[in-house]
Chains A and B, each alone.
Chain A
Amino acid sequence: MKRKIPLVITFIVGIVVIISEFIPHKPFGRISGELENWYLIIAGFAIILGQMNLFKVNLFKIRYKQKNWQFYIITLISFIIMVSCGLFWGTENNPGLFGNAESITSVVGSKPFDYLFDNIYQHLQATMFSLLAFFIASAAYRAFIARTLESNLLLIAAILVMLGNTSLGSSLTCWLPENLKFLHLPNISSFIMKFPTTAGQRAIMIGAGLGIIGSSLRIILGIERSYLGGE
């Protein structure tokens, strides 16, 4: 019974959503909209669940002094500070429980939450994203080795695209006459991106799209049940 109810719900909801895609008439159009609203409500409540889990797991690790337990104190402190600042003094245009923190704002220039957001959070995020540049460089260094015909093609295409995407690339070939403009590096790069790359991407996307239909059907028909923890 515990397994059957979710399967029945999945089947009914799946069929209703598919039907509502083609039938705009009431009640089908509306049922689909209602289900979408339900999802939003559940997702909203689930955020609380996530925060509680984060708090519980970290607290547990600190309490039982598990390996590297000191790190989890930082997580908890950061969490508590951000939540408290937002709750007590609000954000940019919204007041908190204790008003707008005028005294703090007059010193630091913005509300505590906004101050932390602008001066710590934004920079931490940008730092993590910028790691990508370093990792791309090391991954490219490792991957683009001319071993076989395919890897040679990949290497040449990569260099042409990289050069074409820079200002330097365009200045390298800007001397080419008008009738040889197709050899201009940005044009070669754009050609590679527009045709061979797009063709490959589309093939993957079509395959993935069909895979999604197949998986959805398996789930709706109750053939695929491992997401419920069972066969």
Chain B
Amino acid sequence: MTEKITRKQIDRRWIFLFMFIGVALPLIFTIGFPIETSENSEIVYDLIDNTPSGSKVILSFDYDPASMPELHPMAEAVMRHCFRKKIKVIVTALWPMGVQMAEDTFSQLKADFPDVSYGRDYVNMGFKAGGIVTLQAMGKNFREVFPKDMNGTPIDELPIMDGINNFNNINFILAFSAGDPGIKQWVQIAHDTYGITVSGGVTGVSAPAVIPYVNEQKQLTGLLAGLKGAAEYERLTKEPGSATKGMDAQSIAHMIIILFIAIGNINYWRNKAKEKRGA
């Protein structure tokens, strides 16, 4: 009977329509709700902010265009922070499209950081297939896994790669991850096997599965979760960007879901009362 009652609900296409309007309007007309930072985002910020200039870090772009709205603003904010702190960035990708994502991020920042030179302060080593197997091989010998960068320049000709033989010469690894292979594999290999600091950003939907790694053993040093994480990071760096704008849309979307949950419950109880009266 419960099933019968629940089925007497409104057509889901109405929900889709309201959702569409609720997300689209705030993207066009900015509302500007305040953003509060969470502890996990602050940890990621502190990690980068306390890294000495000249240090070398790996940013892994393990996502594709599908997750761009959530992970791209995050990647941009983090890379911007790295460049501002004069941290040298080595980009790797466990997803084929990650290479393109990193290039897109770098090209957006080029104008703001004209001094950042490719090969000296930033390098894109390209995509490597194999996921966890590749990470294990990187831990043993980075140069064997990435003998050339994405343009085919030999690793020995890239000044940024001087002295990089494995994970031990990297300050930390920060992975932007939309799934598998991604942040979980970085934790398992780079942190758990080689003891390197690993941090990262994930899509909102996969955050609950990754949060357990932010623990006392610091398997993950902080975590940027979804668009909210990206907006928080933008706030911490005091450089609002697309994530801050997107948070308005997310807030409204959540409110619409809550509203429909309320309608669903009212309908359910009303139908139940009717059934009782009918019986």
A interface, CB within 8 angstroms of B: 33, 36-37, 39-40, 43-44, 92-94, 117, 121-123, 125-126, 128-130, 132-134, 136-138, 140-142, 144-147, 155, 158-159, 162-163, 165-171, 174, 186, 190, 193-194, 197-198, 201-202, 205
From A137, A147, A166, A201, B209 is in contact (CB under 8 Å) with A201
Whole-angstrom distance between the Cβ of B111 and the nearest chain A Cβ: 17
Q: Provide 24 A-B residue pairs closer than 8 Å at the C-beta atoms, listed in order of the A residue.
A: A36-B130, A123-B65, A128-B66, A129-B66, A137-B19, A137-B253, A137-B260, A138-B15, A140-B261, A146-B268, A155-B265, A158-B261, A159-B258, A163-B254, A166-B33, A167-B36, A167-B231, A171-B34, A174-B34, A193-B208, A197-B208, A198-B211, A198-B212, A201-B209
A44 to B260, CA, bound (A): 47
B4 interface residue (CB < 8 Å to A)? no
Please indicate the chain A residues that have their CB under 8 angstroms from the CB of B133 in the complex. 36, 39-40
Contact A33 B254 (CB under 8 A): no
Contact A163 B258 (CB under 8 A): yes
B interface, CB within 8 angstroms of A: 2, 6, 9, 12, 15-16, 19-20, 23, 33-36, 38-39, 64-69, 100, 103, 129-130, 133-134, 136-137, 140, 150-152, 204-205, 207-209, 211-212, 226, 228, 231, 247-248, 250-258, 260-261, 263-265, 268
Please indicate the chain B residues that have their CB under 8 angstroms from the CB of A141 in the complex. 9, 12, 15, 257, 260-261, 263-264
Please indicate the chain A residues that have their CB under 8 angstroms from the CB of B69 in the complex. 126, 129-130
Whole-angstrom distance between the Cβ of A182 and the nearest chain B Cβ: 14
Contact B264 A170 (CB under 8 A): no
